[in-house]
Amino acid sequence: MNVSTIHDIGYRHYEGKRLGRAYVTRSMFVHNLRAAYGLGRPARAKVMPFILAGIMLLPAVGDIAVVAIAKRPEALFPYTRYQFMLQLIISIFVATQAPVLASREIRFHSVPLYFSRPVVHLDLVLAKLAAFTTALFALTAIPITVLYVGGLVTQVPDSGEQLLHYLGGLAACLLLSLVLGAIGLVVAAFTPRRGFGVAAVIAVLLVSGVLVSIVQGITQNTGHWTLSGWLGLFTPYSLVDAVAYRLLGGKLSAVAAPPGVGGGVAALAVCAAIVLGAVTVLYARFRKAGLS
Amino acid sequence: MPPIIATRGLSMRFPRVTALDDLTLAAPPGVVGLVGANGAGKSTLIKILLGLLPPSAGGAEVLGLDIARQGDQIRRLVGFMPEYECLPPDVSATEFVVHMARMCGLPPSAARERAADTLRHVGLYEERYRPIGGYSTGMRQRVKLAQALVHDPRLVFLDEPTNGLDPAGRDEMLGLIRRIGTEFGISVLVTSHLLGELERICDHVIVIDGGKLLRSQAVEAYTEASGVLVVEVDEGRDDLGRWLHERGVAVRPEGRLLVIDIGDETVYDLVRDGAAELELRLVRMEQRRHHIEEIFSVAPQNVPGPPGAPGTPGAQSRLETSAEELRGGAR
């Protein structure tokens, strides 16, 4: 006879393993990466990130179709230019998803729950930045991977050169993801209301881009080419484009880039400063939120 | 038994307020109540004990670990349920509690198992798969409690766990806290501004006011017999009062009752005889017990302190916090 019954066995103590700092940090990374794409949250949280990821893929797929049908390999987009072309979509992704990672837990006062546990402040910040960077990298790197694979399938010539450009493109994606992740999280962390956060990130990314390209145009018209190049460092997309153009063998996509390899190194240094600054600011912000 | 919490001259000064003022106390294992009016420094004390906020002066130990040097170890062994709303509305209780378990270092499968167990213990069943945003206040409080217990701590800090609950929910929460202390074998530090609540569930009660210690003693010491006899008769209260007064008993009316100082044992006989002689129906005759609330109220009568508890009130000593009183009160 097989009778199954439910026994209330009362409270049981936990005798198993308790893992250390590395595991906790990894768990935070995975949790935040999932949150960036709305996983583990209701369906409506998944709509925006996945639609944007879909839109990111469309031009790559269309381009491959053109290359394949028209047999015109020169129509293949340069890998480093892809993210510059689609900066509006990437900006919207940053704007809608940065508040999810940066300000959601501050807004709902969940942060103290982390720091009343064995969670190190810096680990939380680094896990969030790494998770958002990875989310953005997935958003930007998958389309250019589609381009590269499509190029291989349609037998675009110079496959060795293509591979090099592709790797350069991946590096540029990673750099852009880091810079945008850093900027997005900082702006969102200081605008606790979600709507404001979205607006603030959009403002910082798009308005800075538009302003810089206008001023760059004016300076070029008046003949100040070098100045115009340096101005590109003031907005994230042309900043990363400068690194891609000067150091990673990409094509120039922004209005101008600072001159020479030195210009590329300077742009890279600005990227590093942005990321380090963001970590410092986020560290202070979450430390404060942990005491609320 | 060594104390679970011990503070020495703990002070916390913010630019404009002093939250804690030279607080020295020791709490034994079990369910310990921390009582004080709003702003008395309860939440600040918990933050300091968790090692989140460095105190301005003094030190403390939690489970024998120093808050300044061993905060990390303390945070592995304790759980914390904040007073405020701390739950993201767009995840399910299961998802949230599993995540919080992993933040304590529990491996994925253990985290899931513990989360399911803990949510069941606090009384959340099928609804735990729905987003928290749709929960009632009572259910949210349970989720907050579950995340504090999920990693099987040795001590939990519960900050105002009955806040916002209706009477039934309050009773259930109090019962749950009592079970945590007894059945689960987890020590509890629970704060409240309602003394009556804590009287029901605590073994030991610490009273602070304005960041100072008022009293720290076992709960029985607060509720000892007060040396006052309460008598209720059906009608003819005044007749009985007059009858007793004529025989030299200190008696006064209080509502429908007569309150009589117990001088010696013969008072009982006198009440019985009086009721019999006046042919009154005696409804109730009992020794009145102290309530913890009396610490805060100005005494309406001069209640003589029960023997053996020198810390118990005289109206003037109510706000005194001498070390002597502390030693006398804390058993």
DSSP secondary structure of chain A: ---------------S----HHHHHHHHHHHHHHHHTTTTS-HHHHHHHHHHHHHHHHHHHHHHHHHHHHT-GGGSPPHHHHHHHTHHHHHHHHHHHHHHHHTHHHHTT-HHHHHTTT--HHHHHHHHHHHHHHHHHHHHHHHHHHHHHHHHHTT-S-HHHHHHHHHHHHHHHHHHHHHHHHHHHHHHHT--SHHHHHHHHHIIIIIHHHHHHHHHHHHHHTT-HHHHHHHGGGSHHHHHHHHHHHHS-----SS---SHHHHHHHHHHHHHHHHHHHHHHHHHHHHHHTT-
For residue A16, being part of any structural domain is answered with no
Average pLDDT over residues B108-115: 96
Chain B residues touching residue A117 (CB < 8 angstroms)? 75-76, 100, 103-104, 151
Q: In this complex, which of A23, A31, A108 lies closest to B86 when CB atoms are compared?
A: A108
Q: Taking CB atoms and an 8 Å limit, are B52 and A290 in contact across chains? A: yes
DSSP, collapsed to helix, strand or coil, labels residue B84 as coil
Chain B residues touching residue A114 (CB < 8 angstroms)? 103
Chain A residues touching residue B86 (CB < 8 angstroms)? 108-110, 112-113
Please check whether residue B114 touches A, CB under 8 A. Answer: yes
| Closest-approach residue (CA) in chain B for A21 | B105
Measured CA to CA in angstroms, residue B141 lies from B152, B169, B221, B321 at distances of 18, 10, 31, 34
| β-pair type (B31-35, B187-192) | parallel
Opening angle at CA A244, ends A241 and A250, nearest 5: 105
Longest CA span, chain A: 94
| Closest-approach residue (CA) in chain B for A287 | B52
Q: Taking CB atoms and an 8 Å limit, are A11 and B121 in contact across chains? A: yes
For residue B331, pLDDT over 70 is answered with no
| β-pair type (B187-192, B155-158) | parallel
| Closest-approach residue (CA) in chain A for B113 | A14
| Closest-approach residue (CA) in chain A for B97 | A113
Q: Taking CB atoms and an 8 Å limit, are B75 and A113 in contact across chains? A: no
Per-residue confidence (pLDDT) for residue B236, from 0 to 100 = 82
For residue A189, being part of any structural domain is answered with yes
Chain B residues touching residue A12 (CB < 8 angstroms)? 117
In whole angstroms, what is the distance from residue B79 CA to residue B84 CA? 15
Whether pTM exceeds 0.90: no
Any residues with CB less than 8 A from the CB of B236 and at least 6 apart, and which? B278, B280
- Per the structure block, which two tokens stand in for A259? 């001159």
CATH architecture of residue range(s) B225-289: 2-Layer Sandwich (3.30)
Single-letter amino acid, residue B191: T
Per-residue confidence (pLDDT) for residue A54, from 0 to 100 = 96
Q: How far is B100 from chain A (nearest CA, A)?
A: 8
Average pLDDT over residues B210-236: 83
**Number of CB atoms found within 10 A of residue B134's CB:** 9
- Per the structure block, which two tokens stand in for A214? 């206008």
Q: In this complex, which of A19, A31, A118 lies closest to B75 when CB atoms are compared?
A: A118
Torsion of CA B66, B69, B72, B77, to 10 degrees: -10
Residue-averaged pLDDT of chain A: 91
Pick the CATH number of B5-222 from 3.40.190.10, 3.40.50.300, 3.30.300.210, 3.30.390.30: 3.40.50.300
B contact residues 129-158, partner A, Cβ 8 Å cutoff: 131, 147, 151-152
Q: pLDDT tens-digit profile of A41-74?
A: 888 999 999 999 999 999 999 999 998 898 888 8
Mutate which of B102, B122, B189 to test chain A, going by most A C-beta atoms within 10 A? Answer: B102
Q: Are A91 and A244 in contact (CB under 8 A)?
A: no
Chain A residues touching residue B45 (CB < 8 angstroms)? none
Residues of chain B with CATH 3.40.50.300: 5-222
In whole angstroms, what is the distance from residue A167 CA to residue A148 CA? 10
Q: pLDDT tens-digit profile of B57-77?
A: 999 999 999 999 999 999 999
Enclosing domain of residue A106: 21-289
For residue A2, being part of any structural domain is answered with no
Q: Taking CB atoms and an 8 Å limit, are B103 and A24 in contact across chains? A: yes
For residue A60, being part of any structural domain is answered with yes
Residues of chain B with CATH 3.30.70.100: 225-289
A87 CA to centre of own chain: 11
Q: Are B286 and B221 in contact (CB under 8 A)?
A: no
**How many structural domains does chain A have?**
1
- Per the structure block, which two tokens stand in for B286? 């009992």
Q: Which of B226, B293, B330 is nearest to B37 (CA)?
A: B293
Chain A residues touching residue B82 (CB < 8 angstroms)? 109, 112-113
Q: Which residues of A lie closer than 8 Å to B, measured between beta carbons?
A: 10-14, 16-20, 23-24, 27-28, 31, 40-42, 45, 104-105, 108-110, 112-119, 290-292
In whole angstroms, what is the distance from residue A91 CA to residue A204 CA? 10
Residue-averaged pLDDT of chain B: 84
Q: Taking CB atoms and an 8 Å limit, are B147 and A113 in contact across chains? A: yes
In whole angstroms, what is the distance from residue B29 CA to residue B31 CA? 7
Any residues with CB less than 8 A from the CB of B90 and at least 6 apart, and which? A41, A42, A45, B131, B132, B133
Q: Taking CB atoms and an 8 Å limit, are B52 and A109 in contact across chains? A: no
Local confidence pLDDT in tens for the 292 residues of chain A = 455 555 566 888 999 999 999 999 999 999 999 999 999 888 899 999 999 999 999 999 999 999 889 888 888 888 989 999 999 999 999 999 999 999 999 999 999 999 999 999 999 999 999 999 999 999 999 999 999 999 898 888 888 888 999 999 999 999 999 999 999 999 999 987 888 889 999 999 999 999 998 999 899 899 888 898 899 899 999 999 999 999 988 888 888 888 888 999 999 999 999 999 999 999 999 999 988 6
For residue A15, being part of any structural domain is answered with no
For residue A9, being part of any structural domain is answered with no
| Lookup result for tokens 């102290």 | B290
DSSP, collapsed to helix, strand or coil, labels residue B20 as strand
